[in-house]
Amino acid sequence: MIGKLSGEDRDRELADLPEWTVIAEPEGIRRRFVFADFNAAFGFMTRVALLAEQANHHPEWFNVYNRVDITLTTHDAGGLSRRDIDMAKAIDALLA
């Protein structure tokens, strides 16, 4: 079972994810993405869905039209784990 990140490990990893905001409920990280339109937003979601299936680690996410809000948390760890960090980096890389 994967552990919750804490202390220096957590701080160091979050420093690599400046676009993500730490949230308390659920305990994790969130980023808002805004695209030109729904086509672009859902295309992005489809790419993220494929990453999520491959990693077997799934986002909590909300979409309305061109906006996608992605929350990453690890339920089994009760908070932020390395799996969330890895997924956030993979998602950021889609847009790089």
* Positions in the binding site for a second copy (CB under 8 A): 38-39, 42, 45-46, 49, 52-53, 58-65
Nearer of residues 16 and 76 to a second copy, judged by Cβ: 76
CB of 28 to a second copy, least distance (A): 12
Nearer of residues 20 and 44 to a second copy, judged by Cβ: 44
Nearer of residues 4 and 38 to a second copy, judged by Cβ: 38
Encode 10-75 in three state secondary structure: HHHHHHCCCCCEEECCCCEEEEEEECCCHHHHHHHHHHHHHHHHHHCCCCEEEEECCEEEEEECEH
